[in-house]
């Protein structure tokens, strides 16, 4: 195999990454351009050339372009996600400040107990005996 045949095979390996419709119509054309722009003594595909061909393949696989309605839908999805993130941040921040305010009021509570309070398993009362025994005292009688 001559050097130019080896180079051409290298180019074709990269062009194989392109969509089939493009290859059917333009493989010979783009290979012709690649061979014409190659250096006289070039033996293998350069790094920058490979990167450029791969980038081109990715761009073409993304299709001619998405319809406008679909693009709008995608954008709306992003807007929705950002809004949800904002709500989540607000909830976390207010939740944290509520918790720290409550911790100041009930310094004996452990983190686990606070977790239980937040989950609604424990009544939030100042009677520390009842809080330490989750089983209601009335049932002992």
Partner 1 sequence: MVSSTVYTAGMSVRAMQEATFLILTALADGSQHGYGIIAEVSDISGGRVRLRAGTLYAALDRLRADKLIGVDREEIVDGRLRRYYRLTPAGRKLLAAEAARLHANAAAALTRLNLAGGVA
Q: Does 84 bind partner 1 (CB under 8 A)?
A: no
The interface region with partner 1, picked from 29-37, 100-108, 112-120, 124-132 by CB under 8 A, is 29-37
Q: Does 29 bind partner 1 (CB under 8 A)?
A: yes
The interface region with partner 1, picked from 55-63, 75-83, 95-103, 132-140 by CB under 8 A, is 55-63
CB of 42 to partner 1, least distance (A): 13
Q: Does 35 bind partner 1 (CB under 8 A)?
A: yes
- What span, in angstroms and rounded, lies between the C-alpha atoms of 15 and 28? 10
Q: Does 124 bind partner 1 (CB under 8 A)?
A: no
Q: Does 42 bind partner 1 (CB under 8 A)?
A: no
Burial (CB count within 10 angstroms: exposed 0-12, middle 13-18, buried 19+), residue 11: buried
Four-point Cα dihedral 127, 128, 130, 132, nearest 10: 170
- What span, in angstroms and rounded, lies between the C-alpha atoms of 74 and 69? 9
Q: Alpha carbon of 30 to those of 24, 34, 57, 91: distances in Å?
A: 11, 6, 12, 56
What does the binding site for partner 1 look like in residue numbers (CB under 8 A)? 22, 26, 28-37, 48-49, 52-57, 59-60, 64-65, 68, 71
């Amino acid at each position: 195999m001559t050097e130019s045949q080896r180079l051409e095979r290298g180019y074709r390996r990269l062009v194989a990454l392109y969509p089939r419709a493009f290859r059917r119509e333009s493989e010979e054309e783009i290979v012709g351009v690649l061979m014409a722009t190659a250096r006289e003594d070039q033996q293998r595909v350069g790094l920058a050339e490979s990167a450029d061909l791969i980038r081109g393949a990715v761009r073409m696989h993304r299709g001619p372009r998405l319809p406008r309605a679909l693009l709008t839908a995608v954008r709306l999805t992003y807007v929705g996600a950002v809004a949800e993130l904002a709500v989540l941040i607000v909830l976390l921040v207010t939740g944290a400040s509520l918790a720290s305010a409550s911790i100041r009021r009930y310094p004996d509570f452990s983190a686990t107990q606070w977790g239980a309070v937040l989950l609604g398993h424990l009544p939030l009362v100042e009677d520390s005996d009842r809080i330490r025994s989750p089983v209601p005292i009335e049932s002992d009688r």
